[in-house]
Amino acid sequence: MFLSGTERLVDVVQPVIVVFGGALASLLLTFSTAHIGQALQLALVRGIRGGTAPEAMIKAMLKICEVSRREGLLGVAEIRSNSDQVEEVCHLIGDASDDLAIQYALDRRVASEKRHHQMSADVFVFTAIYAVLIGMLGSLLLYVSPVQGLPGGTVVLPFVCGISLAILMCILVGRLRSSHLRELVMVEVAYQGATIILEDNNVQRLRSRLGLLVTSGL
């Protein structure tokens, strides 16, 4: 409002409503409500809260290794967790799966994670695109409007709102991408850890070998 010389708050509220409402309507026409809901849930867990660090999975695998040393493979198979990855890994270890079965499970989990991330990221990428386009359309309509006396800054306010929403969506997509990379590392830590535990359930060697999978900065 300061930069554009706009004095009335309603002049700012109107383009905000148009851009947000238009972007939401466009999303509902593009994606299903279940798709959008899943994307919002992922944005909350990963984009805002940051997701889970790979070190948490390393700690979980070390605990699984300790259980395998104390109670054997059958004890590992009885482990229950709120992470479906951890439970699947425990079942693979408990069944004494070979390297081929573990690699197949790893590839399937990686493909699922990539697909899940892409589906959610598409929602926010299209939100940014729709916001910019609707903002440009709103500014164009104000420019050619027969109403006289509009301040010069008011004409570009819809476009500014669209750009602002697009910037927020770019930040969210960037955070989701960073969290997605951490999730891929977590998946590799989990299933590679299962292979190592079946080969040699030494906790110290497991910690050192899994630590090599975590890239600095994740």
What is the structure's pLDDT at 149?
56
Please tell me the chain's helix, strand, coil percentages from 3-state DSSP, rounded to the nearest 5. 80, 0, 20
How far, in Å, CA of 18 to CA of 9, rounded? 15
Cα distance between residue 204 and residue 196, in whole Å:
12
Alpha helices in 97-151 (DSSP H): 99-143
Nearest Cα neighbor of 201 from 67, 45, 3 is: 67
How many Å apart are CA 129 and CA 95, to the nearest integer?
48
DSSP state of 96: T
pLDDT at position 8 = 74
Q: What is the pTM of this model?
A: 0.81
Distance CA 76, CA 63 (A): 10
Least confident of 5-19, 76-90, 179-193: 5-19
Q: Is the distance from CB of 218 to CB of 185 less than 8 angstroms? A: yes
The 8 Å CB, 24+ separation contacts for 62-67 are 62/203, 62/206, 62/207, 64/89, 64/90, 64/93, 64/193, 64/197, 65/193, 65/197, 65/201, 65/202, 65/203, 65/206, 66/203
- pLDDT tens-digit series, residues 174-210: 999 999 999 999 999 999 988 988 888 788 888 888 8
The helix/strand/coil state of 144 is coil
Q: Report the alpha-carbon distance of residue 168 to residue 161 in Å, rounded.
A: 11
Q: Report pLDDT for 205.
A: 86
CA R_g for the chain: 25
Looking at residue 119, its pLDDT comes to: 92
Quickly list DSSP for 32-77: -HHHHHHHHHHIIIIIIT----HHHHHHHHHHHHHHHHHHHHHHHH
List pLDDT tens digits, range 91-148. Answer: 888 888 888 999 999 999 999 999 999 999 999 999 999 999 999 998 888 888 766 5
Mean pLDDT of 65-76: 84
